[in-house]
Structure 1
Amino acid sequence: MTFARSQQGLSILGWLVVLAVVAFFASTAFKVLPHYLDYMSMEKIITSVETDKASGVRTVGDFYNHVSKGMQVNNIRDLNMRDALQVKVENNEFLVHLKYEKREPLIENLDLVVNFDKEFRVRMP
């Protein structure tokens, strides 16, 4: 009976396993999180065309310039805007399709893949 009471808690090996699992998930999160933050910034840049009356975005070229400036401000450098963004004008609305994927190496030949695909309908200001 007294032996069972003295054996409470994790052993050193148990703590090392827990620490390894926590470190793995933290490493994974730190590799994926910047891509999600960039994506959320891109969403805000695209939707800001509708609310930003001073930008004067009227054409597809203006839209691309607006997004390019927003990407510079938010320091999004590892995304090719022309490949990831398709813009069309239809019925006084910009139809925007944001689609791209990013890969981060995890362990040897294993990669983390994040795939972003969203369509926006943005009214012209």
Structure 2
Amino acid sequence: MKRKQGGLSLVGFLMVLAVLGFAAYVGMKLFPMYQEYYAVRSAMKGLSNEPGVADMSPQRIQELFFRRLYINYSENVKPQNVKFERANGGWVMRVTYEVRRPLIYNLDVVGNFDTRQALTRRGSGEE
């Protein structure tokens, strides 16, 4: 009795390779978008721990925010994407922006990011 070998043919292997290659390509387009989003979140969290941030003006907070983003090479967040609202003796900072990256020919990958952070820390003694 002969046993027939089973396995992946060359054509099957090439198809799997093509699917994995496309997934890696899309991942390379998405990774920088989400890396920037996490840099924005990190900068906002860092601001929330800044002593006296609740008493600062929105212009000063925005200046500190963009200094932190400059370190992380963020290029998609602009000053018009940052809004402030008064709340609970401090500020609520909201950053809303869109990132668009070309994918293939006339198809784009679009990421809409919207995040908020309460900035209520008062001085170094109270919280």
The SS at the match of 2:93 is: strand
Counterpart in 1 of 2:89?
A: 92
Are the counterparts in 1 of residues 48 and 118 from structure 2 also a CA contact under 8 Å?
no
> Which range moves more in the overlay, 31-40 or 51-60?
51-60
* Unpaired segments ≥5 residues, structure 1: none
Residues 104-123 of structure 1: matches in 2 within 5 Å?
A: 104-123=101-120
> Which range moves more in the overlay, 42-51 or 83-92?
83-92
Residues 52-67 of structure 1: matches in 2 within 5 Å?
A: 52-53=50-51, 58-67=56-65
Counterpart in 2 of 1:5?
A: 4
Shift of 1:122: 1.8
The SS at the match of 1:75 is: coil
Scaled by the length of structure 2, the TM-score of the pair is: 0.84
Q: Kindly report the root-mean-square deviation, in angstroms, between the aligned alpha carbons of the 2 structures.
A: 2.1
Residues 29-108 of structure 1: matches in 2 within 5 Å?
A: 29-53=27-51, 58-76=56-74, 78-108=75-105
Inter-partner Cα distance in structure 1 for 2:49 and 2:94: 19
Are the counterparts in 1 of residues 41 and 115 from structure 2 also a CA contact under 8 Å?
no
Greater share of residues in helix: 1
Distance 1:110 1:36, change over 3 A: same
Q: Which has the higher contact order (CA 8 A, sep 6+)?
A: 2
Q: Give the partner amino acid of 1:44.
A: S
Distance 1:79 1:65, change over 3 A: same
Scaled by the length of structure 1, the TM-score of the pair is: 0.86
Are the counterparts in 2 of residues 57 and 66 from structure 1 also a CA contact under 8 Å?
no
Deviation by residue 1:20-70 (Cα, 9 ceiling, x = unmatched): 000000010111111101111111111212213288971101111111100
Q: How many residues align?
A: 122
Are the counterparts in 1 of residues 43 and 68 from structure 2 also a CA contact under 8 Å?
yes
Q: Which aligned runs of 4 or more in structure 1 are off by greater than 3 angstroms?
A: 54-57
Q: Give the partner amino acid of 2:60.
A: D
